[in-house]
Structure 1
Amino acid sequence: MKKLIFLLALCFSFMASAQNAQVFKAANEAYAAGNYEEAIAQYEQILESGQTSAALHYNLGNSYYKLNRVAPSIYHYEKALRLEPGDEDVQNNLGFARNMAIDAIGEEEQTGFRGIFETSTAAFSASGWGWVAIFCMLVFVVFFLVYYFSSRTFTKRLLFIGSMLFLLMAISSVIVAVTKESYSEEGEYAIVFSEEVEIKNEPSPRADDAFLLHEGAKVKITEDFQDWVEIRLPNGSTGWLEENHLRRL
């Protein structure tokens, strides 16, 4: 019975993937034809099925950008960049989308060790470094097995050195992945989706206004309180707004 359930689940998963591939192709064709609303509906359909990818968010960002919809385009470019941190096309288009936003907030600068770490490991996300670690570990196992059964001294030395090198790379990749995941959990970011929102000094609609933000602004969430969230900007400004004004990344 368990085998039958597993096979049925596998079949449904395969069918869903095939269907999403067809929807993705149709969405790309709609985008190429200039039917951006139709493309968005089909891309969103894939997201609702539980599948995601950098390409999917990138295409969604492009579609919203073509319709001059600032917040959704920035949101999906940011999502794509999280999945593919080193993608230059995503970075460039994100820059264009940010130019449409009213608030020139900029990015929070990372200094010291964290700044060096983020810059040097930007090629992959935390999950990407995890896959690098798995690949290096597999190569280590292959090299070590060949080393173990090899009879030539010179070959054994080369294989041993190679296996230790890949083992070191695997361990380093795991450390990088864990560190990046830890950094990402320190602060949650969001994109403002309301056209204009008043940021309050306290989590109350009757509180004094601290400043204004507009659609497309990227903020860091520092605290949650009922339906309100406290945010911080790169310049150090803080305030409160109701969560329905933004969408978490």
Structure 2
Amino acid sequence: MKGFLYRSFRPRLFRDPDISGLVRNLTRNDSRRALLAGMTICVALLMTSLISQASYAQRNLEAAFYKGNTLYEEGKYDLAIKEYSLLLEQGLESGNLYFNLGNSYFKKGDLGKAILYYERAKRLMPRDGDLKANYKFAFSKIAFNVPEEPSWPVSVLDRFDMFTINELAIILSFIFTAAFIFLTAGLFMNKIKRYTYIVLPVLIIIFLTFSFSLYKRISALDREVVITTENSEAKYEPVDNATTHFSLYEGMKVYVLELKKEWSKIRRPDGKIGWIRTRDMEKI
């Protein structure tokens, strides 16, 4: 019994914890926290710096734009053009910027450049009333205008010029989504299925019409040009001594068909085709 009691009440001995291991774990965790905190601070500082730089650049661009407006109002059109052009060189593109450049060139008496920038502005804000009015007035000043006689499909597609390319793409996405939802619902709901044969063809026709309009606009991006010289002679062949076919005047818009060194094969709005010097025109 004595031996039993001795063994029973004998305190159990536990091994001492590994103090050095605990210290290493704590140190490792502290290092990770410190590293994470440091990285967070660096990212925050970097983001703050980028936002500050972007804000500073935005303020500079706005200041340059308003400076150009002030110069325009003071009648200093050459300086206004220079200020606006600096914004273009920095990658800024907007309908209002092109519109102001068009106004400046028109006031300066450069009709070709004025119409060129009005055309560029029309691609970004086609429904702007002031732009429409100024463009129409400038267009009336062209020495000789050739009336365009488009076929009826083209004239229908031209009505969609009131939308920008981005807007046309968004509209097409909505039409496609609506058609897909309607078709899917018609497969599972009898009430909708009866209307599928009416609504879907209509949506398909609308989708195709907008698609052709978008294709027409995109294909014209690198083909539409404006004559920027006072007078340009279109020849039958791309050589200087070739016979002159017809004349083009400053501000006229033509369509490029082919490029050959310093010559460009163009089509006039009435369908006449000829070769002109590439330097006589500028791409919209």
Q: How far is 1:216 from its partner? A: 1.4
CA distance in structure 1 between the partners assigned to 2:246 and 2:158 by the alignment = 30
Q: Which residue of 1 aligns with 2:214?
A: 181
- Aligned residue for 2:100, secondary structure, equals helix
Aligned partner (choices 101, 106, 116) of residue 60 of structure 1: 101
Q: How far is 1:109 from its partner? A: 4.1
Q: Which residue of 2 aligns with 1:242?
A: 277
Deviations 1:75-123 (A, max 9, x none): 01111111112222212111111222212124x344333422331x333
Q: How far is 1:132 from its partner? A: 5.5
Label 1:113 to 1:104 Cα distance change in 2 as closer, same or farther (>3 A): closer
Matches within 5 A, 1:216-231: 216-231=251-266
1:129 and 2:164 are equivalent in the alignment: no
Partner letter of residue 224 of structure 1? L
Q: Which residue of 2 aligns with 1:156?
A: none
- Aligned residue for 1:239, secondary structure, equals strand
| Contact 1:130/1:173 (8 A) holds in 2 | no
Matches within 5 A, 1:1-249: 7=47, 12-106=53-147, 108-119=148-159, 121-131=160-170, 178-187=211-220, 188-249=223-284
Partner letter of residue 102 of structure 2? G
TM-score computed with the length of structure 2 as normaliser: 0.66
Label 1:201 to 1:78 Cα distance change in 2 as closer, same or farther (>3 A): same
Partner letter of residue 156 of structure 2? I
Count of matched residue pairs: 217
CA distance in structure 2 between the partners assigned to 1:10 and 1:132 by the alignment = 33
| Contact 1:126/1:180 (8 A) holds in 2 | no
Equivalent pairs: percent with the same residue? 27
- Aligned residue for 2:168, secondary structure, equals helix
| Contact 1:195/1:215 (8 A) holds in 2 | yes
- Aligned residue for 1:204, secondary structure, equals coil
Label 1:39 to 1:174 Cα distance change in 2 as closer, same or farther (>3 A): farther
CA distance in structure 1 between the partners assigned to 2:265 and 2:207 by the alignment = 33
| Contact 2:149/2:270 (8 A) holds in 1 | no
Deviations 1:181-209 (A, max 9, x none): 31024441111112222211011112111
Label 1:10 to 1:200 Cα distance change in 2 as closer, same or farther (>3 A): farther
Partner letter of residue 91 of structure 1? K
Give 5+ residue unaligned stretches, structure 2: 1-38, 179-201
Higher Rg of the two aligned structures: 2
Q: How far is 1:246 from its partner? A: 0.7
Label 1:88 to 1:109 Cα distance change in 2 as closer, same or farther (>3 A): farther
Partner letter of residue 84 of structure 1? M
Label 1:32 to 1:177 Cα distance change in 2 as closer, same or farther (>3 A): farther
| Contact 2:169/2:214 (8 A) holds in 1 | no
Select between 14-23 and 188-197 the one with higher mean Cα deviation: 14-23
CA distance in structure 2 between the partners assigned to 1:174 and 1:38 by the alignment = 46
CA distance in structure 1 between the partners assigned to 2:116 and 2:129 by the alignment = 17
CA distance in structure 1 between the partners assigned to 2:216 and 2:62 by the alignment = 33
Partner letter of residue 116 of structure 1? V
Deviations 1:161-181 (A, max 9, x none): xxxxxxx99x99986765333
